[in-house]
Amino acid sequence: MNNAAPIHAEPATFLALVIFTLVSLGLGVVANLVTSKKAGFLQKYFLGNRSLGAFAVALTAAVVSGGTFVGFPSLAYKHGWVIALWIASYMVVPLTVLGVLGKRIGQLARRTGAITLPDLLRERYGSPALGLLTSLLIMLFLTSNLIPQFKAGGVIMKMVLPASTVGMVVDEATTTADVGYMIGLAVFAATVVAYTAYGGFLAAIWTDVFQSLVMALGVMILFPLAMMASGGLAAATQAGIAQTDIGFAFGPGATKNFHPIGLAFSFFFMWAITGMGQPSTMVRLMSFRDSRTLRFSIIYMMIYNLVIYIPLIFIFIAARVIVPDLAKPDEIMPSVVIKLANPYVAGLILAAPYGAVMSTVSGFLLIISSGLVRDIYQRFVRPLASEKEIEWASYTATVLVGLAVTIIALRPPEYLQLIIVFSSTGMAASFLMPVMLGAFWPRATHQGAILAMAAGALSTLGLYGSGYAMSGLTSFVPYYLLGLDPCVWGLSASLLGGVVGSLLSPPPDPARVALLFDAQPPSAPAPATLDLHPNLASTISTDED
C-alpha cells in the first residue's frame, strides 16, 4: 500500500467531538446525582437499581463497539464483499441474545440477589470456587478486549486534534513514537474513565443510549455521502479489485484465505451464539425492569442492527474509491469521514465510532471493577467492609483498571478486530454453557459448571496459542482445526464438559434447586448473597409474568 501522509481533520471537527465528550461527562454527573439516594451503593453502581426500560436494554445490549466502527470497517476495506458473511448473523442476534436467556437470567438474578455474573453463578451452583474462577476469566478476557477499544478511541481522537498538535505527528516516519496517538489516547482514557468511575452503571447506560443514537445518525449521514463520492457500488467494487485482487468481489475462499467456507459458517455461528455468553450482555439482562421490557427490546434491537450494519458494509466497500490504498486500514473510518463531510458534520459523524468505543469501554470497566471489588475484595479480603469503603474501592478499581489498560494500549495491536474476536470467543466458551445449563437444567452441578468453564477457556487459549506459535509469534491468528474457528470448538468442549461433569457428580442440593426453579413468593430469601447485604431483600421478585 502507499504510505501517504496521514489524514487529519480541521479544528471545527475537533470542537464538535469535544462538545460530544462534554455531554457524555455531563450525563455521568447527572446519573450519579439521580441515583444517589436510591437503594444500596452496589446495586446502584453496578446494576442501576434494575430499572432499565426497553429502549435502554436494546441500545446497550446491541453488539456495537470499537470493532463495529474501526475494526469491522478496516476488514471490509481490506477484504471486500466477503465481510458481509462476517456480519450476517448480527441480524438474528436480538432473538438469541435477548430472547433465549433474557427472562431466565432476570429471574435468577432477582431470586439470588445477584449483582454480577460471578454472583449469579456462585449462587446458582452454591460454589465460591466457581465464582472466583468466573471473576478471574472475566478479567483476563475483558482486559484483552479493552486494549483494542482504547486504541480505537486514541486513533479517532488523534485524527481530529487541532493543527498545533497535528504538526507534531505529521512526520511519523521520523519519530519512534506517535505523539498524536498518545495524546488522543490520554484524552479518550481520561474522559471515559472519569464519567464511568463517577456515575457507575447508570452513567454507562445513559451515555450508551445517547451515543447509540448518535451512531445511527452518523451512519445515516455518511451512507449517501459515500455512495455519491464513490460513483456507486459497482465502481467501488471495480476499484477494490484493481487495488487488491478478484477476491474483493467474491465470497468465501475466493483466491485468499480470509474467509473460507469453514470460517463463513463459524462466524455466522459466532455472533449469533457467542453474543449470548458475553458478561456485558448478561449484566444488562440482570438489570431490565420486567418481561414486557424485554419483549420490546428485541424489536428495537432488530431495527437498530439493520440501520447500523448493512449501510456500514456499503460505505466501506465505497471507501476503496474515496481513500485508495490507505496505509493503515484501522484508520479508514475517520479518514472517509474527514474527506467527505463538512468539518462540523464530520465531528458529528465521528462521534458515532467514538461513542461506540466509549460505551463499550464504560461497560467493560464496570464489569472488571465489580469483579475486583464485589467478587474478590469483598468476598475474600474485607467481607464486612462498610458501604462507604466499598464505594471508594469501586471508584479506585475503575480508575486503576483504566490506567493499566491505557499503558498497555500505548503499543496496540495492528488489527483490533482480531483481539475482539479472541476475547468474545473466550468469554462465550467460558460462560455461556455454565449459565445456559444452570438456567434451564436443574441437574446441572457446580462440578459440571467448573469443568464446562475450564474446557471452554482452555480450548480457546490452546487454539489461539497454537496458531500464534505456528506463525513464529508474528500473527495473532488461531489454529483453525478442521477449518473451523475456535468459537465452535470452545463452545462444544464447554457443553460436553458441563453435561458429563454434571452427570458424573452428585445431584445438587434439592432446596437450592427448588428455590431457583419452582414458583416462589416475592419475599423468598436468596441462598447466600443476602448474608452480606440484607438490605437487598426488598429488591427480590420472581418476575413470573
Could you read off the pLDDT of 132-167 as tens digits, one per residue? Answer: 899 889 888 888 888 878 887 887 788 777 654 544
pLDDT category, 35, cuts 50, 70, 90?
Answer: low
> CA 64 to CA 72: how far, in whole Å?
11
Which residues, including other chains, have CB under 8 Å from residue 528's CB and lie 6 or more apart? 122, 123, 126
CA dist 82 to 13, 222, 328, 335, Å? 33, 22, 20, 22
> CA 164 to CA 433: how far, in whole Å?
52
Give the residue-averaged pLDDT of 240-262.
74
Q: Is 132 exposed, middle or buried (0-12, 13-18, 19+ CB in 10 A)?
A: middle
pLDDT category, 527, cuts 50, 70, 90?
Answer: low
Give the residue-averaged pLDDT of 415-438.
86
What local confidence, expressed as pLDDT, does residue 442 receive?
A: 93
Could you read off the pLDDT of 443-487 as tens digits, one per residue? Answer: 999 999 999 999 999 999 999 999 888 887 677 788 989 888 898
Give the residue-averaged pLDDT of 382-407.
81
Map out the domains of the chain with their CATH numbers.
Answer: 11-412 (1.20.1730.10)
Share the mean pLDDT of the chain. 77
Task: Check: pTM over 0.85? Answer yes or no.
Answer: no
Residue 184 has pLDDT above 70, yes or no: yes
Cβ(28)–Cβ(199) under 8 Å? yes
Q: Is 532 exposed, middle or buried (0-12, 13-18, 19+ CB in 10 A)?
A: middle
